[in-house]
Amino acid sequence: MSQKDMPNTEPEHYIITPDAEPFLEKLLFSRRGLFLVFLIALTAFLAFSASQVGLDSRSEKYIPLQHQYIQNHMRHANDLSSGLNNIKIVVANKNGDIFNADYMETLRQINDEVFYIKGADRSKLKSMWTPNIRWTEVTEEGFQGGPVIPATYDGSEESINQLRENILRSGQVGRLVANDFTSTMIDVPLYETDPETGNALNPKELANALEEKIRDKYTSDSISIHIIGFPKKMADLMEGAFNVGLFFLGAIFITAILLYMYSRCIKGTLIPVICSIVAVIWQLGLLNLIGFGIDPYSMLVPFLVFAIGISHGVQIINGIAIEAGKGASREMAARLAFRGLYVPGMLALLSDAIGFLTLLFIDITVIKELAIAASIGVAVIIVTNLFLLPLLMSYVGISRSGVVHAQKVEASEPKLWKFVANFTHKKVASTAIIVAIGLAVAGVIGSQDLKIGDLDKGAPELRQDSRYNQDNAFVVDNYSTSSDVLVIMAETPREQCASYEALDAIDRLMWTMENVKGVQSAVSLVSVSKLVSKGMNEGNLKWSALSRNQNILNSSIQRAPSGMLNQDCSMVPVIIFLNDHKAETLERAVNTAAEFAAGYENNEAVQFKLASGNAGVEAATNQVIADAQTLMLIFVYIVVSALCFITFRSIRAIICIITPLALTSILCQALMAQMGIGVKVATLPVIALGVGIGVDYGIYIYSRLEALLIEGKNLHQAFFETLKTTGKAVSFTGLTLAIGVGTWIWSPIKFQADMGILLTFMFLWNMFGALLLLPALSRFVLKPEQIIAKHQAKHGEAHPAEQL
Amino acid sequence: MRTLFSVGAVLRSANRFISINILVAAFGLTAMPSMAQWQDPLDTPAMATTKAHESLLLDIVAVGERLIAVGERGHIIFSDDQGRTWRQAKVPVITTLTAVYFVNENTGWAVGHDAVVLKTEDGGLTWSKQFDGFQANEMVLNQAKKAKEFYEDELSKAMVIGSETRISLAEESLENATFALEDAQIDFEDRSTKPLLDLWFKNTREGFVIGAYGMIFKTMDGGNTWSAWSRHVENPDRFHLNSITRIDDQRLMMVGEAGLMLRSQDGGETWKQMLSPYDGSFFGVMSLAGNVQLAFGLRGNLARSDNFGLSWRLEDTHTHQTLMGATDHLGRIAYIVGNGGAFLKGIDAGQKWESQTREGRDNASAIVETASGDFVMVGESGVEILDKTGERLAVEITSIEG
């Protein structure tokens, strides 16, 4: 994207053959009316298509579907109660405990209200007020029990006392009743598809219903409501993520102001903005045509496309202004600017697109779709900002003020650029390189604690102070429950899930896991069997063990809750509760489980498959990310190096261009480590985007520098000239891009903010690298005599600008 | 085209790099020592852990200054500082252990599920297996065969004599013996085992282990060899034997399922039923000074006798929680713990009872008094340290490795 060669200079490099270039220009400008009409019609069509683009909230997109863990999970998906289709509503008494008639009455009302919420599976609803919550006791005659709220409950002191006793006997303390008895929970399982309409559960509708009918209605001075659960989280996430769309307006506004300051021409400001918006429309329209929707990640692409479009547009406006200043007509000025810019422009945009496509190596749909969306986005800029924009300008023309401004700039010798040009001096250059090495070393050290995965508690997608995370923290603090669950699937032959050998092996896995740091507890069918064995033996703790008698084992699991084993008794989930979902916690747990599973690899009675539960999915994602991280960096650097090589045919050029990028990558990792941002689905693509876009700065600076060197200027002169034109463009581009993505820092969604921070950092730092480090490296790496000799060998004595 | 080719070459070499990586990873994986398949819990040494003190523990004894507790997964842990810090003993099984008993500071035994018997001769640091459920099955089977033969013989003798009462008695006994043999055969063939629940040793040589379905075995050589002893116990319904205790040199008592109460006046040679005041299960029996015996069990029921079980009377314990384990202070005050946070104090040698509910209301299985006068209690939450009133002491309890 960014640019570029001096507009009135023919490029040294070309895409196909030197003769092919005028052809495109002739074709485009000789029928410019026709092309314009065609492009406008196309825009109208794609605008319609873009208006149809849907918000895509499918959660499986965030999961590495090809990973073995996920495959294992999918195989048993129907048998595992994922815990994902479930909402927990906590009703807390702010002024005391739950043992009073008022609280219980409010709870009853809320319970009734929840009963009628669309999507709630009424038969499995659990709360103090549902009859399935019972107490039991062992007596001489056997088990005795009843509902926790006695049939005779009337709110009297006596029945409240009865309730208190029943709750203690029910084993619900820490589950449905808070450990401190100041709140209780309503557990609301949901239908995945509406049994009446057959539609999939709509998290947004559900969340709205919960907010309106429960939270808003019942929150008072004495009652507070806390709602957690996957659908609620998704609803909050989607709402926040798509609200970021509004930031787009802010980005447009700020960019337009900057653009005006740059061009001092209203037309020269509006046309690039319009063309860049057209690029966004095309991108969204094409996205819809290939059947993609927008998700919280690919939301980023319109921001990028807009910013990249602007930075290309501004070059063309600049070129037109200069040509117009030399007296060219509107059409001629546009045409000359086009001629000078479309080759490096296309090369840069293609290199962006190819750079983005390296993200396809990461086997996570949402990243792949981001890669495709971004590649489409930069590809359409070729048409909208390299073709459409000069066409429009050939009609509109640039204003007088713009022309004057451009001339003034060209003639001036700004102090800033004079200073920057000093980086080509030997002394300054060595200092700059030493500083860069120092930064690189500091960066490598600083990035030592770079972590994989999400590091924050609760729902890491949302900010820690979001309502959802506050509610989640309330539940975690007051109930004996963890929101981080790892599930290992114990597979047995059919009807053999309760064999002694299988259950004993599961028991050992549980204990092995409970001994891993970061594991709170483990639960499985074994827990049920032991509990029932104890119960069947009059509550004698000494019988809390697995029996070798198959009949006893079978009867001990006869009434096991669904979800503890599958339909044909061939799979038992082992549910492991973790303290948190930090990568090291997950890795420790998963590694221990995998090692244990390896010991049973060919066992006939039972085998263990990793992994389900949110922690299992996250562990798989982390593994994919960790594997992809290095691979992706290698590929992205190979691709950009290859593109540089294609363009410049010089290893020395590659060193000058790639080194600043590598420094940025290192510093970016250090920044992530220091800010506690993990490498995750959201931040991994950022690294590729940063490098892919960042390389353009170097390409353009170098390309201009080389041309001037061939002209015979010395390095300092050549770089100063480069700075005045291309350098200015590069710094403008860096700023525009940083503004475009920088607005994301204020996103309510944590990962969007992380993306914003990192991209802003990379865009700015790559800019500095190209302006400061590249000249310093040139001083030591480039050999101007060689460049000239090579040029002469190819083109004879011809001046690069006079070829053709 | 040329450049594209070179890009392709770079990509291919990168691919090669990846596939080498994958090979290395795969090789690394296959080169890992393959772990053993499932091993029987009786052949699997207990896993080293520092969490045993917070997992299920079922019995605890004080041996001199040392406390020794046993529990699930073959856990045996010991403490030399009144229960503050614990170390794990070396145990050759991962079977759940239910009871432990020491005859002196060095020598002790532990019993558990799978009818396992473990012995230590170094004060509880290392344990070895002496007996298990498979041996028990064989012994029970042999004894059942003999019993059946004996009653068949008895019946034919009775027929010869022609005494109606003797015939019907022999017939009934033979029927019971036949059922017992069938059960023993099934257990033997299915390799199904039953838990031992308690034990008592007279000295380093002579002792009894008792357990589920009337299992009782006797050793005369410190546990090297065992003999089935149920034929000497009056327990025709094969009720669980839950607890055994010594009254004096010759007199012993056992209690069990469904109100079963037994006593022996000949050092355990023979056992006779006592008249029980209660139909529910007793889980413990203890002896206090002044020839007082207490039996306690289901739903707060506690029976007291001051005449070696000639008569029993149910005491009012003011609790309905099941009582599981007990200790005494100088033979005069009894302390009993159990399910649902039960904590009982019986003063006047168990004539007057005070009931408390422990914080946390967890289920406890056994309790001992320490040298410092506190109590160390074990149960489903592991070790807890209590004061005289049953309040949990706020001291840190930890496990250290090795």
Per DSSP, the residues of B257-284 read GGG-EEEESSTTS-BEE---S-SSPEEE
- Among B144, B174, B190, which residue terminates a domain? B190
pLDDT in the model for residue A142: 63
Nearest CA in chain A to B3: A646
> Residues of A with CB below 8 A from B18's CB?
631
Taking only residues 259 to 318 of chain B, the set having a beta carbon closer than 8 angstroms to any beta carbon of chain A reads 279-281, 283, 298-299
CA distances from B338 to A58, B70, B335 (A): 52, 17, 10
Do B393 and B373 share a domain, yes or no?
A: yes
Would you call A545 and B7 a contact, using CB atoms and an 8 Å cutoff?
A: no
Report if residue B43 sits inside a domain: no
Residues facing residue B329 across a β-bridge: B333
Tell me the longest C-alpha to C-alpha distance in chain B.
115
Q: What is the pLDDT of residues B362-396, one digit of tens each?
A: 899 999 999 888 999 999 999 999 998 889 998 99
Q: What is the pLDDT of residues A229-260, one digit of tens each?
A: 888 888 888 888 878 888 888 889 988 998 89
Do B93 and B213 share a domain, yes or no?
A: yes
Taking only residues 236 to 255 of chain B, the set having a beta carbon closer than 8 angstroms to any beta carbon of chain A reads 240, 242
Asked if residues B115 and B211 have their Cβ atoms less than 8 Å apart, the reply is yes
Do B240 and B354 share a domain, yes or no?
A: yes
pLDDT in the model for residue A141: 62
User: Is B2 a residue whose pLDDT tops 70?
Assistant: no
Query: What sign does the dihedral A72-A74-A77-A82 (CA atoms) show?
Result: positive
Would you call A539 and B339 a contact, using CB atoms and an 8 Å cutoff?
A: yes
Distance from CA of B227 to the nearest CA of A (A): 23
Residues in chain A, pLDDT under 70: 1-22, 57, 81-84, 137-143, 795-804
Do B20 and B86 share a domain, yes or no?
A: no
Do B248 and B380 share a domain, yes or no?
A: yes
pLDDT in the model for residue A459: 82
Nearest CA in chain A to B97: A542
Q: What is the DSSP string of A345-385?
A: HHHHHHHHHHHHHGGGGS--HHHHHHHHHHHHHHHHHIIII
> Residues of B with CB below 8 A from A646's CB?
3, 7
Do B202 and B241 share a domain, yes or no?
A: yes
Nearest CA in chain A to B48: A515
User: Is B7 a residue whose pLDDT tops 50?
Assistant: no
Distance CA A662, CA A633 (A): 10
Closest CA to A510 of A497, A496, A500, A524: A524
Distance CA A167, CA A169 (A): 5
CB within 8 Å of A400: residues ≥ 6 apart: none
Distance CA A447, CA A478 (A): 36
Do B305 and B158 share a domain, yes or no?
A: no
Taking only residues 319 to 348 of chain B, the set having a beta carbon closer than 8 angstroms to any beta carbon of chain A reads 322, 324, 339-340
> Residues of B with CB below 8 A from A549's CB?
187, 190, 192
Q: What is the pLDDT of residues A86-107, one digit of tens each?
A: 889 999 999 889 999 999 999 9
Would you call B38 and A631 a contact, using CB atoms and an 8 Å cutoff?
A: no
Tally of CB atoms within 10 A around B357 = 14
Report if residue B46 sits inside a domain: no
- In the sheet that holds B333-338, the strands lie side by side as B323-329, B333-338, B342-347, B352-357
ipTM of the complex: 0.89
Distance from CA of A771 to the nearest CA of B (A): 28
Do B67 and B213 share a domain, yes or no?
A: yes
> Residues of B with CB below 8 A from A138's CB?
298-299, 322
Report if residue B44 sits inside a domain: no
Report if residue B47 sits inside a domain: no
Would you call A550 and B363 a contact, using CB atoms and an 8 Å cutoff?
A: no
Report if residue B40 sits inside a domain: no
pLDDT in the model for residue A796: 65
Q: What is the DSSP string of A429-443?
A: HHHHHHHHHHHHHHH
- Among B190, B222, B257, which residue terminates a domain? B190
A504: Cα within 13 Å, side-chain hemisphere: 20
What is the CA angle A733-A738-A741, rounded to 5? 125
Taking only residues 3 to 62 of chain B, the set having a beta carbon closer than 8 angstroms to any beta carbon of chain A reads 3, 6-7, 10-11, 14, 17-18, 32, 34-38, 41, 47, 49-51, 55-56, 58
B101: Cα within 13 Å, side-chain hemisphere: 25
> Which of A120-124, B50-54, B329-333 shows the lowest mean pLDDT across its residues?
A120-124
Distance from CA of B164 to the nearest CA of A (A): 37
Helical residues (DSSP H) of A382-499, grouped into ranges = 389-396, 400-411, 415-421, 426-446, 467-478
Among B192, B319, B359, B384, the residue to mutate for chain A (most A Cβ within 10 A):
B192
Report if residue B256 sits inside a domain: yes
Closest CA to A695 of A272, A223, A353: A353
Do B56 and B184 share a domain, yes or no?
A: no
pLDDT in the model for residue B6: 36
Would you call B195 and A543 a contact, using CB atoms and an 8 Å cutoff?
A: yes
Q: Give the model's confidence band at B14: pLDDT under 50 very low, under 70 low, under 90 confident, else very high.
A: very low
Query: What sign does the dihedral B346-B347-B353-B355 (CA atoms) show?
Result: negative
Interchain CB contact of A495 with B (< 8 Å) = no
Mean pLDDT of chain B: 89
Distance from CA of A606 to the nearest CA of B (A): 9
Closest Cβ–Cβ partner in B298, B340, B363 for A140: B298
pLDDT in the model for residue B36: 53
Among B40, B96, B193, B239, the residue to mutate for chain A (most A Cβ within 10 A):
B96
Please name the residue that has the structure tokens 């029980």. B276
Q: What is the pLDDT of residues B135-161, one digit of tens each?
A: 999 999 999 999 999 999 989 998 898
> Residues of A with CB below 8 A from B299's CB?
138-140
Would you call A599 and B35 a contact, using CB atoms and an 8 Å cutoff?
A: yes
In degrees rounded to 5, what are phi and psi of residue A390? -65, -35
Q: What is the DSSP string of A111-157?
A: HHHHHTSTTB-GGG-BSTTSTT-EEEEEETTEEEEEESS-TT--S-H
One-letter identity of residue B331: G
Q: HEC states along A191-215? A: CCECCCCCCECCHHHHHHHHHHHHH
Do B201 and B296 share a domain, yes or no?
A: yes
pLDDT in the model for residue A803: 35
Asked if residues B364 and B379 have their Cβ atoms less than 8 Å apart, the reply is yes
Closest Cβ–Cβ partner in B3, B18, B363 for A541: B363
Closest CA to A566 of A505, A609, A604, A624: A609
> Residues of A with CB below 8 A from B240's CB?
537
Number of inter-chain CB pairs under 8 A, A vs B = 110
> Residues of A with CB below 8 A from B6's CB?
642, 645
Interchain CB contact of B196 with A (< 8 Å) = no
Domain with B28, as residue range(s), is 7-35+135-190
Distance from CA of A352 to the nearest CA of B (A): 16
Nearest CA in chain A to B34: A599
> Residues of A with CB below 8 A from B98's CB?
542
CATH of the domain at B109: 2.130.10.10
Do B164 and B262 share a domain, yes or no?
A: no
In degrees rounded to 5, what are phi and psi of residue B320? -110, 10
pLDDT in the model for residue A20: 52
Interchain CB contact of A547 with B (< 8 Å) = yes
Interchain CB contact of A496 with B (< 8 Å) = no
One-letter identity of residue A301: V
3-state DSSP assignment of residue A761: helix
Structurally, chain B folds into a number of domains equal to 2
What separation, in Å, do the N-terminal and C-terminal C-alpha atoms of chain A show? 25
Distance from CA of B7 to the nearest CA of A (A): 6
Report if residue B82 sits inside a domain: yes
Would you call B56 and A547 a contact, using CB atoms and an 8 Å cutoff?
A: no
Distance CA A317, CA A538 (A): 88
Distance CA B82, CA B100 (A): 17
Distance from CA of B332 to the nearest CA of A (A): 27
Distance CA A313, CA A343 (A): 14
Distance CA A541, CA B379 (A): 8
Distance from CA of B259 to the nearest CA of A (A): 10
Element holding A520 (H helix, E strand): strand A519-523
What is the CA angle A800-B1-B5, rounded to 5? 120
Asked if residues A388 and A39 have their Cβ atoms less than 8 Å apart, the reply is yes
CB within 8 Å of B356: residues ≥ 6 apart: B343, B344, B345, B389, B390
Cis peptide before A611 (omega within 30 of 0): yes
Nearest CA in chain A to B324: A540
User: Is B245 a residue whose pLDDT tops 90?
Assistant: yes
Do B306 and B247 share a domain, yes or no?
A: yes
pLDDT in the model for residue B184: 92
Report if residue B42 sits inside a domain: no
Interchain CB contact of B165 with A (< 8 Å) = no
Which contacts (CB < 8 Å, 24+ apart) does range A171-179 have? A171/A135, A172/A133, A172/A148, A174/A479, A174/A480, A174/A481, A175/A479, A175/A480, A175/A481, A176/A126, A176/A127, A176/A128, A176/A133, A177/A98, A177/A128, A178/A90, A178/A92, A178/A98, A178/A478, A178/A479, A179/A478, A179/A479, A179/A480
Distance CA B104, CA B139 (A): 29
Among B24, B322, B377, the residue to mutate for chain A (most A Cβ within 10 A):
B322
pLDDT in the model for residue B12: 38
Q: What is the DSSP string of B186-252?
A: HHHHHT----EEEEEESSSS-EEEEEGGG-EEEESSTTSS-EE-GGGB--TT---EEEEEESSSS-E
- Among B145, B162, B190, which residue terminates a domain? B190
pLDDT in the model for residue A698: 86
